[in-house]
Structure 1
Amino acid sequence: MRPERAWQRPAERQRGPRWVLGAGALLLAGLAAFSYRVDRDRLQSFRARALEAGFVEGDPVLTDLAREADPHRAALLLARAILARDLEPESQGARGAHLQQARELGLEALAAHPAAWQAPMIFGAATYLEWSIGQDGRLYREADRWQQPLLSSLSLSPGRNEPTQFLASAYLELWPALSEQRREEARHLVGRALEDPRHFPRLMEPWLERAADRQEAFSLIPKSGEAWRLLARHYADRGQWRAYVEAYDQGFEVKKELARRSLQEAARRQSGRDLRGARHLFLTAAMEAPLCREMDPLVEEALSQAPSGPFNPHYAAAL
């Protein structure tokens, strides 16, 4: 080898790497531009799919899709919108028409982001609803095809309510067909779902119908004065007076327990110099306490110990 070939000048030595880097930069720029065009085209296709699914100009989903820059999030957004609309009672007649589209969108997002909790939830929920509305026997024979995605979504999002709510609703609908082991798991999920005050009114009646007896039914009612009030009213509206009295009495005890807890926490906050939090809890204890002589001392203590603060019409109306 000749020496001049072994000892090239720096400019000559760098010519090769510079060419490679330059070509690489052009290639990456081209890929980025191609990716942008693909993403833009996909995003525009979601608008067409939304219109095909029955959404019209002015629907919030179209506005949200126009703002979305990520195709996978757009797929989830549209699929969730279809599911939410098709779950409304007034959409009963047209439900099945677009659930397959929601299922396909969920499957697309699941393939792109297998660790995301929303994609398996949408896929499982859409599959369940499509088969349930169509009275498809696969709902029972191939239950894992809708159940496993929902359970996967539940494990991926322990703090999220949606998978719990949907699974609880599905299990209540299919209760007679569940094995005893699956019913035990379903009871746990139904109990968690009933704790959400937004969904309690919707799930209360199906649970009462499925519970083996009143004792089992009452065992899942959350410790909430409002929940027990709704339960008592449910029985009163149907003239089931013995059940009404039981629900009313248990609700009465729950209110007393909640008032005592609020009073204890208020005292703890006050000793920790959290006067604003203490005031809120003292007044909450007074509002939660049911009207009876037994609770009079608690109400007097709560009102006398509450730190002074600005007038609040919410407290004034309740007290």
Structure 2
Amino acid sequence: MEPSGPLPPRRRSWLPRAGLVAVALAVALALVATDCARRRGHDELLALAATLGFDATPKRPGSRPLGERLRDEESLPRARLTLARALLARELDARRWRALPPEEAAAESARSEERLAAAERLAAAALAALPASWEAPYLLGGARLVGLLGRRDVRLVRAPERWEAPLALARERGPVFREPSQLLAAAYLEIWPMLSLAAQGRARTVLGEAFTDPATFDRFFPAWARIARTPRELAQPLPDRSGVWSRVASHYAAQADWPHWLEAHDLATRARTREIEELLAESRVRQRGGDRAGAAAAAVQAGARTRPGRAEAPLFDQAVRSRPAGAPAAALAGAARAWLEWGAALAPFAPVPLAPETLERTARGTPGLPPELVAWALVAAGDLPAAELVERRQESQWSEAWGGYLLAKAALLLDRGDPVAAAAALAPLHREWKRRPAGLALRLRLARTDPALAPRGEAEAAFAAAHRDRWEATDWRWRGGAALLELLPATSATGLTLAFDEVPAAGAVVAIQWQGEALAPRAVRPGSELELPLEIAAAPGLLRVESLAGGRVRPGRVTLR
């Protein structure tokens, strides 16, 4: 007789468990089927690549084979994008065409059409499966664009929406990715003469976006410079960065177009100053946040970009004082040496606009400085014992290179009321320095302080005899690429006339400083003279001239006016 009523618990508990097992088995079978389909899809993609003559083996040590990259993709649409990208990259690689013989190049061109068509199909299929992807429309538009360019197809201009629309969609969906803008920029530069005015306006926007990437700017700027008809048009899509304007200046220098070079140089200087200030602000923010290493790194970048002169001295001051005291910074060494050499040359004639702390930190924290420059910086900072320690360690300290240090040391001792020690410091001064205005002026100061240490009459006579109203080309001396002229004017004046003995045939641009203060750069031609409006006193002064562009120049006669 069959039992009536509900089943006992033990007899009915297998039913839900059986249902769960069935569901799990179905899921597992579905996963297996999906994985098998994915594997078959990957195998089909590899077979497609092989039929297209695509070399799936790595071309560089360390790069992964295409097969591995395809199998690593979790989905078939992503794998399609991987193959489409590889196919498009192959067609964009112009170097492979140059290495082929003519017959092979012709055959390769025919296969190129097949590869681009395959890349277009793969990208379209991936876009249908991944409608939010930026990469799929990029590859779709890229494949169409490269194909049209290769065939010089009129649809490139008559139906640009076929390639423009997907690339614009890729820019919209992936604003942080550069590839869509780069490809659009390359296309617009290729077909610029055929674009309408409206299309050229859109193209300038794309160029401006692409040029924000330094590598893209370096690659495409020569083509853009050939296209732009006016300097204004050339500058329109360019980002306001110092490196960009420096490249523009180089473009004008190659044409000896000095008026436009001066405009680009001015923009580069303004942008560089702003970038330095931004780095210094970043350094302060990092310092407040406790990131001392990041603060120091930003300060080093800022200091390394400064140029010696009164205008940028406060920026260099901030950069040096934002770093830990005594910490070496190799990246700052070039700028630090330039600043100290500039300061050492200026010091006998005018105050050096660098704080004592800056001078001391720069001297102690910059590797590879000449000892005479270290000693000068320390004595200029007021640390005479440390400077004398550097002095005692050298065997050649009385060479001409040590003249600036000995003058600074003697001046410091006179300021401290020790004329005897000052006279001892001047005793080994090189004879070249003794004849220069700075040496004559300091000896006169010593004689007026204590005539027993230096005959006052002789010092006054020598100083008076050195006053002049004209200086010849042989009076200039060179310090690196800069020409320096020490003046002792016979009278005060409102300016100088500066002639040049040597200027390149195409002209050049020179930077001029008087007492460390920069004048606006000037363009010069062979045989030209510059009228420099300056407030000149009848006291020792320093004129500095160096070439900024165009080649080497040699300054000649200088006359008071």
Shorter-chain TM band: 0.7 to 0.9
Is this contact kept in 1: 2:307–2:335, CA < 8 A?
no
1:200 CA drift (Å): 0.9
The 1:157/1:316 distance shift into structure 2, 3 A limit, reads same
Q: Distance in 1 between matches of 2:319 and 2:25?
A: 73
Residue 58 of structure 2 corresponds to 58
Q: Distance in 1 between matches of 2:225 and 2:140?
A: 29
Letter in 2 for 1:49: L
CA RMSD of aligned residues (A): 3.0
The 1:260/1:30 distance shift into structure 2, 3 A limit, reads closer
The 1:86/1:294 distance shift into structure 2, 3 A limit, reads same
Residue 177 of structure 1 corresponds to 194
Pairing partner for 1:203 from 220, 223, 232: 220
Greater strand percent: which structure? 2
Residue 159 of structure 2 corresponds to 142
1:23 CA drift (Å): 5.5
Is this contact kept in 2: 1:61–1:81, CA < 8 A?
no
Residue 43 of structure 2 corresponds to 44
- SS across alignment from 2:188: helix
Residue 296 of structure 2 corresponds to 279
TM value normalised by structure 1: 0.84
Residue 145 of structure 2 corresponds to 128
1:20 CA drift (Å): 6.8
Greater helix percent: which structure? 1
Q: Distance in 1 between matches of 2:250 and 2:217?
A: 14
Is this contact kept in 2: 1:124–1:145, CA < 8 A?
yes
Q: Distance in 1 between matches of 2:47 and 2:206?
A: 37
- SS across alignment from 1:172: helix
Gaps of 5+ in 2: 98-104, 337-561
Aligned residues, how many?
314
Q: Which moved more, 1:16-25 or 1:166-175?
A: 16-25
- SS across alignment from 1:158: coil
Letter in 1 for 2:92: L
The 1:41/1:282 distance shift into structure 2, 3 A limit, reads same
Which entry has the higher C-alpha Rg, 1 or 2? 2
Is this contact kept in 2: 1:61–1:78, CA < 8 A?
no
1:266 is aligned to 2:283: yes
Is this contact kept in 1: 2:303–2:332, CA < 8 A?
no
1:136 CA drift (Å): 1.3
Matches within 5 A, 1:165-314: 165-308=182-325, 310-314=327-331
Matches within 5 A, 1:77-156: 77-92=82-97, 93=105, 94=108, 96-97=112-113, 98-156=115-173
- SS across alignment from 1:199: helix
Q: Which moved more, 1:82-91 or 1:130-139?
A: 82-91
1:213 CA drift (Å): 1.8
Is this contact kept in 2: 1:258–1:288, CA < 8 A?
no
Letter in 1 for 2:39: R
Q: Distance in 1 between matches of 2:146 and 2:313?
A: 51
Q: Distance in 2 between matches of 1:219 and 1:111?
A: 38
The 1:268/1:33 distance shift into structure 2, 3 A limit, reads closer
Is this contact kept in 1: 2:283–2:295, CA < 8 A?
yes
**Overall identity of the aligned pairs, in %:** 32
Q: Distance in 2 between matches of 1:135 and 1:68?
A: 35
Residue 71 of structure 1 corresponds to 76
